[in-house]
Amino acid sequence: MAQSNENALLEELQAIKKLLVYALLNKNKEEHTQNDIAVALGTSQSQISKMFSKAALKEK
């Protein structure tokens, strides 16, 4: 049961992180590459590709 709660919490935190990054992208007028976002989050470009569709990152 504790593992299930931990997984649910982790999924919720990941969703919040995605929403915050998406909000930041929409707020700035600059265009950001997947690599820029990956560096800011301390992750790889491939992880960013999995988090967001290309349309979401290019939409402006």
**Domain coordinates in residue numbering, the chain:** 2-58
Do residues 1 and 12 lie in contact, with contact meaning Cβ atoms separated by under 8 Å? no
Q: What is the DSSP letter of 52?
A: S
Cβ atoms 49, 58 nearer than 8 A? no
Tell me, yes or no, if the pTM score tops 0.75: no
Which pLDDT tens digits describe the chain residue by residue (60 residues)? 678 889 999 989 988 888 888 777 777 667 777 787 788 778 888 888 887 766 666 654
